[in-house]
Amino acid sequence: MAKLIYSAIASLDGYVADEDGNFDWAAPDEEVHTFINDLDRPLGTYLYGRRMYETMVGWETDHTLADQSPLMRDFAQIWQAANKIVYSGTLEAVSTARTRIEREFDPEAVRRMKALAGRDLIVGGPDLAAQAFKAGLVDECHLFVAPVVVGGGNRSLPDDVCVKLELLDERRFGSGMVYLYYRTRRTR
Ligand SMILES: NC(=O)c1ccc[n+]([C@@H]2O[C@H](COP(=O)([O-])OP(=O)(O)OC[C@H]3O[C@@H](n4cnc5c(N)ncnc54)[C@H](OP(=O)(O)O)[C@@H]3O)[C@@H](O)[C@H]2O)c1
């Protein structure tokens, strides 16, 4: 059975974006990006909330992103090769290949996907991921903690979910970013 992984880059106080929607401080440097490329390379499918999809779509539609460096080109190729499911009530059409829209988040459908998939799935952003946490669907977390406190904004983890975590690995980077790799053990 494939795993569903929640992946996020968050501030130390647990936000993926600050109150102004800014997340410049989360931009991975070359060392972190290389690491993320290798984490994402084996994935089969991204499950995206519409807002996260809109921040990622440039990896296919804006060639200037991939043209920045071989590292960025590598990520663009990884991203384009994976399947994408975008959850949205408002999005009329998608602008990337291998992408479909789902109008509702159906936990049973995701459970079936996990059972049938040959490669792991990843879920983001936090609004969509909260629903996956609540349904007990998230098997692992790849959390990158940026060395910054932003004081408020969009929380990386939901308020009303309790999950026990087993630390499987960790790593520190030269930028001060820290990677925490957890397996989830649901408590209620
Ligand atoms: N830290 C970083 O590295 C980083 C990187 C990129 C982005 N970000 C930030 O991450 C955040 C994006 O995450 P988010 O939590 O705001 O949003 P999200 O989870 O990516 O997307 C939320 C949207 O997904 C759709 N959706 C959610 N649940 C659904 C359901 N059950 N059925 C159908 N559609 C559903 C809705 O779209 P509709 O409104 O279309 O119905 C909803 O508005 C933003 O704050 C962005 O700035 C941070």
Q: What is the pLDDT of residues 39-48, one digit of tens each?
A: 999 999 999 9
Alpha helices in 82-125, H assignment, sequence order: 107-116
Q: What type of residue sits at position 66?
A: A
pLDDT in tens, 97-125: 999 999 999 999 999 999 999 999 999 99
Yes or no: say if 53 and 70 are a contact pair by the CB < 8 Å rule. no
Yes or no: say if 87 and 128 are a contact pair by the CB < 8 Å rule. yes
Q: Is 55 in the pocket of ligand 1 (CB under 6 A)?
A: yes
CA of 86 to the centre of ligand 1 (A): 10
Alpha helices in 14-103, H assignment, sequence order: 30-40, 50-56, 58-61, 63-66, 70-81
Q: Mean pLDDT in the chain?
A: 97
Structure-derived torsion over alpha carbons of residues 126, 132, 133, 134, reported in degrees to the nearest 10: 110
Q: Is 125 in the pocket of ligand 1 (CB under 6 A)?
A: yes
Q: Is 20 in the pocket of ligand 1 (CB under 6 A)?
A: no
Q: What type of residue sits at position 43?
A: L
154 CA closest ligand 1 atom index: 45
Asked if pLDDT for residue 188 goes beyond 60, the answer is no
pTM: 0.96
CA of 111 to the centre of ligand 1 (A): 21
Distances (CA, A) of 114 to 85, 97, 108: 13, 21, 10
Q: By C-alpha distance, which of 111, 117, 116 is closest to 137?
A: 111
